A and B are shown apart, each in its own frame.
Chain A
Amino acid sequence: MKPRILVLRTDGTNCDGETLFAFDQAGGDARLVHINELRGGFAKLADYQVMVIPGGFSYGDDVHSGKILAVELVSTLTEQLLTFLAAGKPVLGVCNGFQVLVRTGILPGGSPGPISLALMGNDSGHFECRWIRLRVEKSDCIFTRGLEGRVLDIMVAHGEGKLYTDPGRLAEMEARNQIVFRYVGADGEPTDRYPDNPNGSSRAVAGLCDPKGLVLGLMPHPERIVEVTQHPNWRRGGFHDPPALYIFRNAVDYVRAM
């Protein structure tokens, strides 16, 4: 049986189709589920093994990016969410999904609670869509097993992706190996320099996980680079077996072994 992947959808979700495809390529059985189906009892989180909050502009990013959906998740689906997390099932949030996870408090702590991080407006002051380099850091994240040290070409497309928190909190996350991805320059080293670091994120952080490595959030879009022809320079040669696909495969493999 293929593991069942829930791709959460609501007003303004717009990276759902490609996320579905990425998980299908990775061997999962991915389904789009509208949050109203969960709220109305027509679908249950418990029937799925992975939950994904894909990119987009949930509820127009009104107030803050991802905020309205974050409030809705923790206020109206509290029980289901807690049970899902307590069962040790993986959760992935990409771009807007990352913003939602941060605004529920699920990141970095692993369960809903006070908000300790912010994803603020980019230093450039505007939405930006470009290819950047992402280094996979050493962490306990189940999504990046076997990818450690690799540098991935990947697209960012966001206006609010600057990770900000107090230095103490950041050091704590670093000490716990919670930093999963960093923006790096051509030399493969983390950078504050625009546009290699496209938003001005503190210590070049692009993605992070909870202490158990089960909840991953990142600003760049791995689901947009799961096929060779999605790379901007595949015609120049040297790009095979898209590494980002392994992020999805790792999740599928992990829950298969559960």
Chain B
Amino acid sequence: MTIHTVRVAMRPELRDPPGEDVLYEIRRALCIDNVERVRTARVYRFEGIGPDEAELLARRLLAEEVFQIFSVDEPVLSGADQYLEVAYKPGVMNPEAASLLKAARDLGIKGLAAADSSREYAFYGPNIGADDLAAITRRLLVNATVEQVVTEPPRTLLIEGVSAPTRTHSIRSMDDEALLELSREKLFLNLAEMRAIRAYFTTLGRDPTDCEVEVIAQTWSEHCGHKTFKARIVVDGVEKKPLYERLKEATRLAAHPLVLSAFVDNAGVMAFYEGQAILGKVETHNSPSAIEPYGGAMTGSGGVFRDIMGTGRGARVVASTDMFCFAPPDMPPVAVPAGCLHPHYLLRRVVDGVRDYGNRMGVPTNNGSVHFHPDFRAKPSVIVGAYGLMPAELSQKGAVRPGDLGVVLGGRTGRDGIHGATFSSGAMTDRTVAVNASAVQIGHAIEEKRTSDALLAARDAGVIRAVTDCGAGGFGSALGEMGAEVGVEVFLEQVPLKYSGLAPWEIFESESQERMVLAVDPDDWEKLRELCAGFNVEATVIARFTGDRRLKVSHKGETVCDLDMGFVHDGLPQTVLEATWQPPVLTEPDLPSPGDWEDIYRRVMGHLNVCSKEPIVRRYDHGVQGSAAIYPYGGVAGDGPNDAALCALLPGRPYAMVVAHGLNPGINNIDPYQGALWAAAEAVANAVAVGADYRELALIDNFVWPAPDTRLLGALDRAVDALTDFVAATGMPFISGKDSLSSTFRGRNETIEIPPVVCISCFGRVADVFRTVSADFKRPGGEIWLVGRRDTSQMGGSVYYDLHGVPGGKPPVIDLPSLPAVFGTLHRAIGDGAVLACHDIAEGGLGASLAEMGFGGGLGARLEIPAGERPEWFLFNETPACFLVELAPGADAAALFAGIPAVRVGSTTARETVEAVFRGGVLFQTTLAGLRSAWLKPMREVFGS
């Protein structure tokens, strides 16, 4: 069929913001200055309609003549020196195509068989060389895993393919070497595991199909099976319980009364108020984000949102968080290993991905942080969290019954996320795709949003027996887990596909996004189907739960998988891992006291790990759902940072959910035990700083580690011990977690390990938002108190040391026994109304916290440094679980803080300066304006504004 092409561009006299954006990156990221101007056009292709209909679509749908021009079947941009059109590769879903088809239908246009959209760039500048264009193409405009340059117009937009047949692997006759060969190629299992598979099929007297082998490999993968965390672990010759066991046991012993579900579902659930429950899940998405940061971050958000949606019998996503670790954005390009993307680009694109998924889903992204360290230059850490709300009575998974139907809801299944798959199709002349699928997924937030709308309606109609998300491992994992106790029979020919040509095992293992899997009573099926249709959501029966505890999969009558559930889920041989641990040798540098206090203070404020992240936060919709009772930034100028998110989840009621987190990769590098404690203490301190009661909070752990050898495993062991000690000391439970142990980069010439990351998230309930505080100073003349225990000589891992080029030093040792009293007392003081402002101390120390409270309040401070202190330590020590507090007039500090370490350190002033007084004299005085501009500068340079 003929294809007609509509091109739409901005009127020439108007600005072209996407073009300007590209020009900025060409100059900023590529340092190419031959390009003078960039203009862009949208290109729409339609197959199966005539030119008149294409013109109608142009006028009624595609172009608005107030500000745009268009053309049909001819160029729209002219006079440029170079042109380039970039499109999705065939087989990669273009989310816009469905909207084009829908709108054409609504306009009464018939016969439209397929539609596609792409973007055209026109570059102006007589000296643009072929090299320049190649660099722009490769490094800015085309992500080769999903996109391509259109060199000649496609002959068809329809994608067809012939599916490969099911094959068997003659595993029974393989020796160890052959087993390892098979594993290396595609399965990534160890020899013991491969032998277990061989033994199983030898007993059965047959060889496995490709589908069976894939199912087992997927279920037993590190990603799904968490083998390291479940392994027996021998530390310096002494066997200890598996890491995962220890965390679960600590939670069990804490026996927290609010916990409804811990470690058994897609998210951890705790009681809220009025019969509601809140739930949280935090995921890592490092590898995809390193290769394709925009898509990787999007699918990271999409995946963690689905974890919330797929907990219990369905939950609504009410908040999203993001914690990133990158190399410094101003890193010289030569320092970035070949084949890795520059951190400046990564940071911007990851932020774009989180923005576009969260904003479109209508989920407020209201808590997060960005950390910088050069050793993230090969692989960033991208951690995304989501929180939800659901009726407490639906917080447990329903038990699937034999006879129940297995239903897939939402997006269609394609080749996305299938490892190393190659896509080619005879019908698609000139268009062949080699898809490295673990990297190639384009999120479609609106698909997920409508699926969420339908899912919640189905839950409220009582037609969901059980639900889970379809993520890693695809149907194999989702249906395999859901049917683990009863058995399931899957009919792959029923699965709605994006395009034909998928082999049965590909359908079963595909990791296409935006799909949920439900177990449904057959009597409820019709109701569910109708309900979903009302939300434009596709729902299809693809399986039946049986009662025979087998995993049976067929495709058009041919059996492609028939396994015993017991073997799939319990057949994995337990690993024994050796670990070793040498306590770090800590030497303390002897740095002279600063000569120029104003200079060092400003440099601390402008350090990447201290500076304002406001330009990132402003790109996220943190106000949608109308729940915010404290915003990421507030105060008189709207730029004073707060410590935690508070979401009033029940409109008109005073209750809130608090969300906070902590991480410090720098300290983990020095001492993983203190680094993990730092993260946990910081997470809780952030929540307490706004007024939360630590006894009503739960924790979520995330470990992002280099591939563990015995030393790194020893470090991991120490980090887990720190967390279980934290649980024992505070009674706060871990209720969900995730580990990702592959952040080692092996390049041709170098191996780079990231600093180990322990990210602790914390969420819980707050009884009354009117008894909470923000961080901005409220009035001049108020007393400022420092609350919490710290030994200021412990400067290891601090920003101050980093600025002096000191990598080590003694890190802050957190006094665990005193934490509950500090947290509890501060919570009471805030609840009593005695506290006007509170800010916890973290990166940048007391000095940074003080300045930030001043920015928020438009107020300065007179700081009185105790005589026995060393001023630079006092100002820049980073012991967490310490707080700066502005007291209300007339508050009795002695009574409020009885029994906990607290000292008066100064007062607020109307004059916007920080004046430090030490041993009777003024040590320094500096303006808030100077500190603020240093603090705002780094991210403004990356993000423009």
Contacts and interface: CB of A to CB of B under 8 A. Distances in A.
Contacts of B618: 128-130
B95 interface: yes
Contacts of B774: 233, 235
Most buried by A among B60, B362, B634: B362
A67 B61 contact: yes
B446 A11 contact: yes
Contact of A229 (B360, B361, B770): B770
B638 A14 contact: no
B616 to A, nearest CB: 11
Nearest to A234: B629
Contacts of A37: 534
Nearest to A75: B106
A68 B99 contact: yes
Given A118-B67, A127-B355, A229-B648, A14 B103 contact: no
Contacts of A71: 60-61, 103, 106-107
Contacts of A22: 626
20 contacts: A11-B536, A12-B450, A14-B624, A14-B625, A17-B625, A62-B100, A64-B64, A67-B61, A68-B102, A75-B106, A125-B20, A125-B21, A129-B620, A157-B359, A157-B621, A164-B14, A165-B66, A224-B624, A229-B769, A235-B778
A236 B638 CA distance: 12
Nearest to A124: B945
A72 B107 CA distance: 8
Contact of B96 (A9, A62, A226, A232): A62
Interface in A46-69: 55-57, 59-60, 62-64, 67-68
A44 to B, nearest CB: 16
A240 B362 CA distance: 27
A232 B65 CA distance: 39
A25 B651 CA distance: 10
Closest 6 CB pairs of A and B: A14-B362, A18-B626, A62-B99, A60-B446, A21-B651, A125-B17
A236 B773 CA distance: 10
Interface string A56-91: 110110111001100110011000000000000000
B568 to A, nearest CB: 37
A11 to B, nearest CB: 5
Nearest to B444: A60
Given A11-B446, A25-B652, A157-B624, 6 more contacts: A14-B449, A57-B446, A62-B96, A62-B100, A63-B103, A120-B14
A171 to B, nearest CB: 16
A121 interface: yes
A140 interface: no
Contacts, number: 171
B773 to A, nearest CB: 7
A84 B677 CA distance: 62
Contact of B945 (A59, A67, A129, A195): A195
B623 A129 contact: yes
Interface of A: 9, 11-15, 17-18, 21-22, 25, 34, 36-37, 40, 55-57, 59-60, 62-64, 67-68, 71-72, 75-76, 103, 115-118, 120-131, 155, 157, 164-165, 194-195, 221, 223-224, 226-227, 229-230, 232-233, 235-236
A38 B255 CA distance: 51
Nearest to B450: A11
A230 B636 CA distance: 15
Contacts of B871: none
Given A72-B106, A124-B945, A125-B17, A36 B534 contact: yes
Contacts of A223: 626
Interface in B67-99: 67, 95-96, 99
B99 to A, nearest CB: 4
Interface string B618-642: 1111111110110101111010000
A131 B638 contact: yes
B404 to A, nearest CB: 28
Contacts of A103: 64
A63 B623 contact: no
B778 to A, nearest CB: 6
Contacts of A17: 625-626, 651
Interface string B341-364: 000000000000001000111100
A232 B103 contact: no
A118 to B, nearest CB: 4
Contacts of B359: 57, 127, 157
B776 interface: yes
Nearest to B648: A229
Contact of B619 (A118, A129, A165): A129
A56 B67 CA distance: 23
Query: Which among B103, B628, B652 has the greatest number of chain A C-beta atoms within 10 A?
Result: B103
A63 B61 contact: yes
A18 B648 CA distance: 12
B62 interface: yes
Contacts of A12: 360, 445-446, 449-450
B626 A194 contact: no
A118 B14 CA distance: 12
Task: Kindly name the residue among B453, B623, B634, B945 whose own CB sees the greatest number of chain A CB atoms within 10 A.
Answer: B623
B629 A230 contact: yes
Task: From A14, A76, A125, A224, name the one whose CB has the most chain B CB atoms within 10 angstroms.
Answer: A14
B108 interface: yes
B745 interface: no
Given A63-B61, A233-B636, A164 B67 contact: yes
A76 B106 contact: yes
Nearest to B635: A233
Nearest to A122: B17
A223 B625 CA distance: 9
Given A56-B362, A63-B61, A194 B67 contact: no
Contacts of B450: 11-12
B107 A75 contact: yes
Nearest to A18: B626
B940 to A, nearest CB: 12
Contacts of A34: 534-535
Given A72-B103, A125-B17, A117 B66 contact: yes
Contacts of B778: 235-236
Contacts of B107: 71, 75
A130 B618 CA distance: 6
Given A62-B95, A230-B628, A18 B651 contact: yes
Given A60-B95, A221-B623, A229 B535 contact: no
B619 A126 contact: yes
A57 B638 contact: no
Contact of A120 (B61, B67, B362, B773): B67
Contacts of B205: none
B890 interface: no
B66 A118 contact: yes
A122 B618 CA distance: 13
A238 to B, nearest CB: 12
A118 B64 contact: yes
A125 B25 CA distance: 13
Interface string B482-518: 0000000000000000000000000000000000000
B275 interface: no
B153 interface: no
B332 interface: no
Contacts of B237: none
A60 B945 contact: no
A182 B642 CA distance: 29
Interface string B799-829: 0000000000000000000000000000000
Contacts of A25: 652
B100 A63 contact: yes
B944 interface: yes
B770 A68 contact: no
Contacts of A195: 945
Contact of B623 (A62, A72, A157): A157
Nearest to B638: A131
A15 B624 contact: yes
A13 B453 CA distance: 10
